[in-house]
Amino acid sequence: MTSEIELPAIAKSSASSSTSSTAKVVVCRGRSCRKYQAEAVWDNFAQNLPSDVELMSVPCLGQCGNGSMVVVEPDQTWYSQVHPEEVETVIQQHIIGKSPVKAMLYSKFHQSIQRS
């Protein structure tokens, strides 16, 4: 399912879920992120996400210049500089495998996790 929404209140949360039915992928499609292939990132998620994972579009996640930006909820995992060819990795490792892709994490919000 895909939808176009206004910017959600994205706040750090310790909430997590053991089922993917509550999983949500938020893709920034703002002007700055579009310069970094956000539309292709969106398209790859739209074509490849499991059907029980919601895909949401926002006009800006407020992190301009670090795009394409993607947030995976409910665990509030932020990814920066996501390229279209990396979407498959996020889907397989994080959405399906429940393990964030450490090498792609946005360090501003995930400073305690070492990037590999």
Which one-letter DSSP state was computed for residue 84? Answer: G
Does residue 30 contact residue 57 with C-beta atoms inside 8 Å? no
Q: What is the pLDDT of residue 22?
A: 81
pTM: 0.79
Return the CATH fold of 22-104: Glutaredoxin (3.40.30)
Average pLDDT taken over every residue of the chain = 84
Instruction: For the chain, give every domain's residue range.
Output: 22-104
Q: What is the pLDDT of residue 111?
A: 81
Q: What is the pLDDT of residues 52-98, one digit of tens each?
A: 999 999 999 999 999 899 999 999 999 999 999 999 999 999 999 99
